[in-house]
Amino acid sequence: MTENNYVNRGLPDIVRRFEGTRVLVIGDCMLDEYIYGECNRISPEAPIPVVLCNEKCDFLGGAANVSANIKAVGGEPLLVGVVGDDEPGERLRKALGERKISDNGLVVSHSRPTTLKTRIVAQNQQIIRLDREVFDDLSDEDLSSVKERFDGVIDSVGAVVISDYGKGVINRAVLKHIRDVIGKEDIKTVVDPKVSHFEYYKGMTVITPNHREASDVCDINIVDEITMTRAGKTLIDRVGCENVLITWGERGMVLFRNGQEDMPVFIDATARSVYDVTGAGDTVVAVLSLALANGASIVDASRIANYAGGIVVGKLGTSTVLKSELIEIIEKGS
């Protein structure tokens, strides 16, 4: 038995238990619009490429994409978030319906638009991204509705994912409400964090910054294992959460545990090729939450999430991972 196969023994069984596991996802929902085309010339009007558009596709983004990833690997997501009373919001809800994900937890706001990100792609290369969004906190009315949606489903879940893209749904008041409602219940909380909100995540089970976010928060330039370890220890101390899982691009992930900061777990990357990192963080928190909800240790849950992230970056666009794909790559140990 190889070292990888020994380490991975038991992980496929955890993934098989994902089926039907309910996870509450709360956060910023987005619609990712992809316009695909061909680029064969430069515009005579300005030094920019001319793209002949051939196809337009909608993908779920942010908290909605976390939900799609949970669904794809067999879980049952309960999505709580906000969309605008607009055409992108209708398209987002339609995309949820196509994936058999309920939109009952979505609040339709009359005071803010649906976050829309449009990516124009030619010859498999992203040319430009156009964003339509606001960053203001929710109105009192919308905030109250979000709390009501959260309270209505929390008793039935094994984990909560907080998808914080800084678009207004997640703030100090919402996170305090989440902590107050969960109380001493054994419900795991997984956070995809926003740099400006790190001080809000005290007491959460695990936060999952990438190495650039960790560098920014700690003011430490992460270039090797020594600086990575310093950053992880600093985050554990500063944030006050139970665990920090830092994603490190082609170098994999590093797990830091409160009380064991001097013993980080370095997890090697598994991706064979990287085509698109869009939404990879959503995949990681989705799979991490399902593993924790099914009793996995934080180390095993992180290893499974690392495999999932390695699969999704090999796909174009905002993508998901299938349970069968995840089990297969874990069993191969690569």
Q: What is the C-alpha to C-alpha distance for residues 8 and 302, in angstroms, rounded to an integer?
A: 12
Element (DSSP H or E) covering residue 125: strand 125-132
Distance CA 144, CA 82 (A): 12
Which residues are within 8 A (CB) of 294 and not within 5 positions of it... i.e. 6 or more apart? 14, 17, 18, 21, 158
Residue 274: the pLDDT is 56
* 71 closest CA partner among 308, 320, 303, 304: 320
Residues with Cβ within 8 Å of 39's Cβ and at least 6 positions away in sequence, in order, are 49, 50, 51, 52, 122, 123, 127
pLDDT computed for residue 279 by the predictor: 66
Say whether pLDDT at 94 is over 80.
yes
- The backbone torsions φ and ψ at residue 105, rounded to the nearest 5 degrees and listed phi first, read -90, 0
pLDDT at 333: 77
Residue in 13, 155, 282, 300 annotated catalytic: 282
Q: When comparing pLDDT for 277 and 13, which is higher?
A: 13
32 is an active site residue:
no
Alpha carbons 171 and 59: distance in angstroms, whole number: 25
Residue 313 confidence class, pLDDT cut points 50, 70, 90: confident
CB atoms within 10 A of CB 98: 11
Q: Is the pLDDT of residue 109 over 80?
A: yes
Domains and CATH numbers, the chain: 3-29+61-114+132-332 (3.40.1190.20)
Which residues fall within 8 angstroms of residue 218, CB to CB, at 6 or more apart? 230, 231, 234, 235, 238
Name which of 143-147, 234-238, 270-274 the model is least confident about: 270-274
Question: What is the token pair recorded at 246?
Answer: 């830092």
List pLDDT tens digits, range 150-190: 999 999 999 999 999 999 999 999 999 999 999 878 899 99
pLDDT at 287 over 90: yes
Q: What mean pLDDT value characterizes the chain? A: 92
> What confidence tens digit (pLDDT) does each residue in 27-73 have?
999 999 999 999 999 999 999 999 999 999 999 999 999 999 999 99
Structure tokens given for 305:
């999430």
The pLDDT of residue 6 is: 44
Calpha distance 264→276 (Å, rounded): 28
Per-residue model confidence (pLDDT) at position 1: 38
Tell me the average pLDDT across 73-85: 98
